[in-house]
Amino acid sequence: MDMYRKAAPTGSRLRWRGATMGLSVVAMMSMMPTARAAEEAWHGTDARQQVSAALLGPWKADIAASHYTDPPPRKALRFFSYTEGGKVLVSFMTLNARGQFSSGHWAAQVDGTPGIEYHSQGGAIPFNVVYFTKVDDDNYHLVVKRNGKVEITADYALSRDGRTLSYRYGETVVIYHRWDMME
Q: How much is the pTM?
A: 0.73
CATH of 47-178, one of 1.10.10, 1.10.3710, 3.10.450, 2.40.128: 2.40.128
Q: What angle do CA 164, 89, 102 make, to 5 degrees?
A: 80
Distance CA 93, CA 101 (A): 7
Pairing of the two strands 87-95 and 101-108: antiparallel
Q: Is the pLDDT of residue 26 over 50?
A: no
Nearest to 61 by CA among 165, 182, 176, 183: 176
Note the pLDDT tens digit of each residue in 85-130. Answer: 889 999 999 999 999 999 999 999 999 999 999 999 998 899 999 9
Note the pLDDT tens digit of each residue in 27-50. Answer: 444 444 445 555 666 555 555 566
- 31 Cβ neighbours under 8 A, 6+ residues apart: none
Element (H, E) at 58: strand 57-61
Question: Taking the CA of residue 61 as centre, how many other CA atoms within 13 Å lie in the half-sphere pointing to its CB?
Answer: 22
C-alpha 11: how far from its chain's center? 50
Percent share of the chain, pLDDT over 90: 62
| All structural domains of the chain with their residue ranges | 2-31, 47-178
Type of residue at 58: P
Least confident among 22-26, 41-45, 67-71, 175-179: 22-26
**Phi/psi of residue 99, each to 5°?**
85, 15
